[in-house]
Amino acid sequence: MNGERDLAGRFRPGQSGNPRGRPKTRHGVDAAVTKALQEKVMVTEQGRRQRKPKLDVTATQIANKGAGGDLKAAKLALDLARKAEERAEVEASRAPAMTQSDHEIAARIIARLTRIIREGEGEDA
């Protein structure tokens, strides 16, 4: 073909290279709720106006109502706190523990940094 390109494989005029287009993303209830809770609203706290996510504002309101004697809000706040603690414990248990080798490496790094700091202090005096 001596450097000529084969044009038979190209798209014809008016024909898309992707006829079905980009697939649409599905937006379920979870995505809609998450998106709504991430939106920021203006709130006044201690006399200062701030923009905060709706989730933070909602959590604060639930905690405040529970502390104020609303038993339903108190139960909800305590249930959510317990679930959050359980998830945190699960995440913490997944984190790998430091091995003896890790401890030795950390000790060497700390010793080296301590020596560098002491040498730096000696130069300044």
* Non-local CB neighbours of 74 within 8 Å, separated by 6+ positions: 65, 66, 67
Domain ranges of the chain: 31-84
Q: Which two tokens stand for residue 107?
A: 């000790």
Q: HSE, CB side, 13 Å, CA atoms: give it for residue 44.
A: 1
Prediction pTM value: 0.52
Query: From first to last of its 125 residues, what are the pLDDT tens digits of the chain?
Result: 444 555 566 677 777 777 777 877 777 898 899 999 999 999 999 999 999 999 999 999 999 999 999 999 999 999 999 999 999 988 888 878 888 999 999 999 999 999 998 888 776 55
